[in-house]
């Protein structure tokens, strides 16, 4: 495969993870240019990661050497900039959320089809070691037939670490756009498409103190709900309980557990690419009935860690979805974080909001296939 030249637009917090991880792990990709509305930020990123060119957005899009452009700007700029990227004839990989609603997601994808370019979108964490391992264990029947999932993204917002937290609490934002995509793509990637959603929302904490960055010490007001609780039914019949929150300081809820008729599979956090899954098998539960030993009793209370089946060069990583997109461009195949999945996840986010505002179930109108699993045994870039 040839090396694909990548351009980054939006040189903020997450651009550093992309630039560093692409350089470290994916030799098929090369970050060749970066741009930001603030030119000094583009220059800073280029200096930090030896990116040969820091320039204006228009210059990056006009550079015929660039194959794929990453849109790493804040959510409110995604759709407009995606259109510009596609219009320039570049393949697009966008950070999440792809679009505020299905209609706009479809418009962007239609434009891409018209221009003959491919589209990928974060989250790509479901392609990384941890969740791909879960996929293999699940498909191998380790917990039998799944029937229920609990997924709990319980954090206390972003203001203790993000220097520009305002955009996370303004109109068009909130945890359903920012964090739910990780959990939704993990659920759909592992267990298939969603059929219906019932949700409620609330704002647990409206006044938020900014702790870091230039506005540290000042307060902002959340303009949007900051907590969503939902029940979903998947097309397979599996039920899901999903909580996404910016209002919880700490919780003992599991972040991600799948329950089957043969046991339970636990995963640490779908926001991270790596993390060893754990299993609890039904035999552990039933053995003490036959065998009255301390060992059997201890086993009946223990989750066992499973090996990850893929390399995990880094815990918190980005860029595997860009590599997946480049490989699909190269082979003429289908990337895994593809348009069908993007539209389905976008509709699920809309469904969370529509159901919580209407008080009614939201019936999904879109569907998608489970993306192809990655074969175990390869290097980090062999996907």
Ligand X SMILES: NC(=O)c1ccc[n+]([C@@H]2O[C@H](COP(=O)([O-])OP(=O)(O)OC[C@H]3O[C@@H](n4cnc5c(N)ncnc54)[C@H](O)[C@@H]3O)[C@@H](O)[C@H]2O)c1
Stretch near ligand X under the rule CB under 6 A, chosen from 72-80, 191-199, 255-263, 360-368? 72-80
Whose Cβ is closer to ligand X: residue 10's or residue 225's? Answer: 10
- Return the range that interacts with ligand X (CB under 6 A); candidates 70-78, 127-135, 357-365, 369-377: 70-78
Helix crossing, 129-139 with 180-191: angle to 10°? 30
Closest to ligand X by CB, 78 vs 281, is 78
Determine which residue in the list 7, 67, 75, 187 makes contact with ligand X, applying CB under 6 A.
75
Residues of this chain, 293-352, that bind ligand X according to CB under 6 A? none
**Size, binding site for ligand X by CB under 6 A:** 22
Q: Please tell me whether residue 14 binds ligand X under the rule CB under 6 A.
A: yes
Beta carbons of 122 and 78 less than 8 angstroms apart: no
DSSP type of residue 35: E
Span interacting with ligand X, options 4-12, 202-210, 215-223, 359-367, rule CB under 6 A: 4-12
Among 69, 81, 190, 230, binds ligand X (CB under 6 A): 81
Nearest distance, CB of residue 225 and ligand X, angstroms: 17
Task: Give 60 or 258: the residue with its C-beta nearer to ligand X.
Answer: 60
* Among candidate residues 48, 52, 49, the one with its CA nearest the CA of residue 24: 49
- E strands of the chain, at which residues? 4-9, 29-35, 53-55, 68-71, 91-94, 119-121, 146-154, 194-202, 207-209, 219-221, 227-234, 239-245, 256-260, 263-267, 278-281, 304-305, 362-363
CB 284 to ligand X: min, Å = 36
Report how far residue 272's alpha carbon sits from residue 254's, in angstroms, rounded to the nearest whole number. Answer: 14
Residue range at the interface with ligand X (CB under 6 A); choices 10-18, 148-156, 299-307, 341-349: 10-18
DSSP strands (E only) in 223-323: 227-234, 239-245, 256-260, 263-267, 278-281, 304-305
Q: Is 10 in the site for ligand X (CB under 6 A)?
A: yes
Residues making up the chain, counted from first to last: 383
Decide if residue 36 touches ligand X (CB under 6 A).
yes
State which of residues 20, 27, 74, 288 lies at the interface with ligand X (CB under 6 A). 74
Q: Does 245 bind ligand X (CB under 6 A)?
A: no
Starting at the edge strand that comes first in sequence, how are the strands of the sheet with 53-55 ordered? 53-55, 29-35, 4-9, 68-71, 91-94, 119-121
What letter would DSSP give residue 370? P
Q: Which is nearer to ligand X, 167 or 236 (CB)?
A: 167
Restricted to residues 266-295, the positions that interact with ligand X (CB under 6 A) are none
List the one residue out of 238, 235, 227 whose CA is nearest residue 356.
227
In the DSSP assignment, the letter for residue 77 is G
29 vs 68: CA distance, rounded Å: 9
Considering beta carbons, is residue 57 or 133 the nearer one to ligand X? 57
In the list 37, 110, 216, 375, the residue contacting ligand X (rule: CB under 6 A) is: 37
From the list 73, 155, 338, 355, which residue makes contact with ligand X (rule: CB under 6 A)?
Answer: 73
DSSP per-residue string spanning 103-123? HHHHHHHHHHHHHT--EEES-
The answer to the question of residue 27 lying near ligand X (CB under 6 A) is no
Q: Which of 5, 7, 8, 9 binds ligand X (CB under 6 A)?
A: 9
Stretch that binds ligand X, among 7-15, 221-229, 242-250, 295-303 (CB under 6 A): 7-15
Residue 139: how many other CB atoms lie within 10 Å: 11
Binding site residues, ligand X, CB under 6 A:
9-15, 36-38, 41, 57, 72-75, 77, 81, 95-96, 164, 178
């Amino acid at each position: 495969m040839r090396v694909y030249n990548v351009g980054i637009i939006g040189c903020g917090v997450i651009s550093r993870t992309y630039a560093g991880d692409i350089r470290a792990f994916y030799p098929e990709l090369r970050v060749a240019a970066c741009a930001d509305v603030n030119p000094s930020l583009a220059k800073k990123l280029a200096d930090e990661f030896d990116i040969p060119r820091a320039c204006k957005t228009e210059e990056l899009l006009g550079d015929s050497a660039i194959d794929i452009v990453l849109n790493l700007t804040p959510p409110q700029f995604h759709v407009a900039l995606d259109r510009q990227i596609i219009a320039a004839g570049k393949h697009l990989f966008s950070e999440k959320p792809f679009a505020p609603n299905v209609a706009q997601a479809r418009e962007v994808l239609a434009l891409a089809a018209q221009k003959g370019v491919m589209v990928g979108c974060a989250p790509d964490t479901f392609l990384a070691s941890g969740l791909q391992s879960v996929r293999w264990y699940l498909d191998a029947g380790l917990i039998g037939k799944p029937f229920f999932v609990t997924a709990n993204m319980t954090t206390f917002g972003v203001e203790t670490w993000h220097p520009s937290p305002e955009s996370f609490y303004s109109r068009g934002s909130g945890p359903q756009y920012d964090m739910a995509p990780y959990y939704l793509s993990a659920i759909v990637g592992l267990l298939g498409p969603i059929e219906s959603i019932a949700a409620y929302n609330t704002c647990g904490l409206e006044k938020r103190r900014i702790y870091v960055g230039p506005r540290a010490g000042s307060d902002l007001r959340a303009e949007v709900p900051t907590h969503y609780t939902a029940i979903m039914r998947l097309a397979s019949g599996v039920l899901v309980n999903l909580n996404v929150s910016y209002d919880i300081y700490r919780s003992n809820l599991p972040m991600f557990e799948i329950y089957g008729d043969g046991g339970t599979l636990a995963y640490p956090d779908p926001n991270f690419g790596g993390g060893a899954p754990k299993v609890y098998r039904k035999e552990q539960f039933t053995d003490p009935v036959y065998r009255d030993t301390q060992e059997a009793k201890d086993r009946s209370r223990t989750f066992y860690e499973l090996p990850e089946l893929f390399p995990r060069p880094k815990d918190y990583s980005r860029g595997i979805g860009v590599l997946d997109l480049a490989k699909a461009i190269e082979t003429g195949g289908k990337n895994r974080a593809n348009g069908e999945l993007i539209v389905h996840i976008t509709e699920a986010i809309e469904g969370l909001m529509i159901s919580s505002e209407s008080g009614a179930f939201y019936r999904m109108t879109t569907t998608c296939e489970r993306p192809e699993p990655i074969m175990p045994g390869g290097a980090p870039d062999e996907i």
